[in-house]
Amino acid sequence: MSAALTPLRHRPFRHLFIGTTANLLGNGMAPIALAFAVLDATGSVGSLGLVVGAHSLTSILFLLYGGVLADRLPRGPLLVGSSVVSAASQAVVATLVLTHSAAIPLLMVLAAVNGASSSCYQPAAQALLPQTVPVESRRAALALSRIAGSSATIVGASLGGVLVSAVGPGWGLAVDALSFGLAAASFALVRVQVAPPGPSPGLVHELRVGWQEFTSRSWVWVIVAAFCFLNAGITASFTVLGPAVADTTGIGRTGWGLAVAASSLGAVAGGVLSLRWRPRRAILVGCALMGLTAMTPLLLALAPYTWVLVVANFVAGVGVEQAGVAWYSTLNEQIPEDRLARVYAYDDLGSYLALPLAQFAAGPAVLVLGLHATLYAAAALILLATLAMVATPSIRALAPKTAEPLPAPEDPAPGVTAGAAGHGSPPQPP
């Protein structure tokens, strides 16, 4: 077995790998199936927004609490519980859709339950991964997980479209529920040795400790703050501005779909590259490569041609994946294991907070500034955020522990650090 596949020799990692891949495969199908289920039932975009918004709201509201739970409870069983709740809620939604009994208030409640359960999944899965392999295999394990995740998302989205077209959105949601069930079964087989946590001093104290850890390292909070703005530019470009340009130019909807898919394919290629290439200043290189994502809004404004966007998004996807692997591997090296999940929770909170704001603001900005000016503003936001990261001394100085001693964190404090934002957003920064 090649060195790149060495993590698969470890049983705990294999089960975690299967579980997370199954989870992401289902999540690739779910948005497509749910969107068409709501539209078929109501014909209302507003109703769809309410259902999707209910999921996003609870996932953000419970995110920090999910991080605390993932640091205080065994992470494997927590992932099992999260997946079981998600499977049950999606199964009920599928049943309602298949029996033509779906009502928007009930769908909102079920979406909110699913969002709350998912708030435990992300921090727990990310923090559990370094516990499933030896230290020397962690970077390869992370890269393999991200390759599988990107691939599963692509396959899931494609499969979701096929299922919705062939047999209807209800069956797509049913398959999503089954994927959560498979994930739960896989997570139940993960066995790792961890020291039991001490008595909990309370939720507020746990969150304060996490915040102290987050703020004690300038490279962490600078990257998170930068990604908050960077993700705003990326999200507005991919979810609002890009489709608007596609509908008014020769790109068309099919062409835009290809351009979006190219970023995910680039992420897969970037994951393969990261198995072989690790720059000495990996986090600095990763931050700098995020500037490639500015090509999307710039090309939408200056050269809206399908294949130009496909190539640019593929290249940007490769760069984004380098940033992602560098970010997560650096956090795994630098953050105490018993506080790592809270770091990821603060990271995700900073990441996702900008996404709805960017989507809400993009439309009014086009009305006030015009489409081209808004695209230029999105590109400028991305480039300025990138420049802020690469100009920060602590980011420029950061190197792996295995390469050389790292500078001590400023004002050391007990706690967690959150990471580069947008880890679950298109096109997925670190």
- Residue in the block written with tokens 């970023």: 263
The residue ranking higher by pLDDT, 39 or 305, is 305
pLDDT above 80 (res 5): no
Q: In the prediction, which pLDDT does 421 show?
A: 33
d(CA 67, CA 388): 28
- Residue in the block written with tokens 């200056």: 302
Confidence of residue 2 (pLDDT cuts 50, 70, 90): low
The residue type at 257: G
Average pLDDT, the chain: 78
Q: In the prediction, which pLDDT does 420 show?
A: 32
The residue ranking higher by pLDDT, 253 or 116, is 116
The H or E element spanning position 247 is helix 242-248
Confidence of residue 69 (pLDDT cuts 50, 70, 90): confident
The mean pLDDT value for 80-101 works out to 89
Structural tokens at position 300:
């939408």
Highest mean pLDDT among 54-68, 99-113, 340-354: 99-113
Residue 295, helix vs strand vs coil: helix
Peptide bond into 297 cis (omega under 30): no
Q: In the prediction, which pLDDT does 409 show?
A: 34
The residue ranking higher by pLDDT, 30 or 382, is 382
Q: In the prediction, which pLDDT does 316 show?
A: 93
d(CA 22, CA 390): 36
pLDDT above 70 (res 323): yes
Confidence of residue 49 (pLDDT cuts 50, 70, 90): low
Question: Whole-model pTM?
Answer: 0.66
pLDDT above 90 (res 88): yes
pLDDT digits (tens, 9 = 90+) for 120-133: 777 777 778 887 88
Which CA distances in Å does 231 have to 89, 102, 136, 384, 430? 29, 34, 31, 12, 11
SS3 content of the chain, % helix, strand, coil (to 5): 80, 0, 20
Q: What is the DSSP string of 201-236?
A: --HHHHHHHHHHHHHT-HHHHHHHHHHHHHHHHHHH
The residues, any chain, with a CB within 8 Å of residue 42's CB and separated by 6 or more, are 48, 104
Least confident piece of the model among 199-213, 266-280, 385-399: 199-213
pLDDT digits (tens, 9 = 90+) for 31-45: 767 777 777 777 765
pLDDT above 90 (res 290): yes
Q: In the prediction, which pLDDT does 408 show?
A: 35
pLDDT above 50 (res 419): no
d(CA 131, CA 286): 24
Structural tokens at position 399:
């190197």
The mean pLDDT value for 251-275 works out to 80
d(CA 243, CA 329): 34
Closest CA to 121 of 157, 151, 83: 83
d(CA 364, CA 362): 6
pLDDT above 50 (res 426): no
The residue type at 215: T
Q: In the prediction, which pLDDT does 195 show?
A: 54
Q: In the prediction, which pLDDT does 48 show?
A: 67
d(CA 126, CA 345): 10
Q: In the prediction, which pLDDT does 424 show?
A: 35
Q: In the prediction, which pLDDT does 252 show?
A: 77
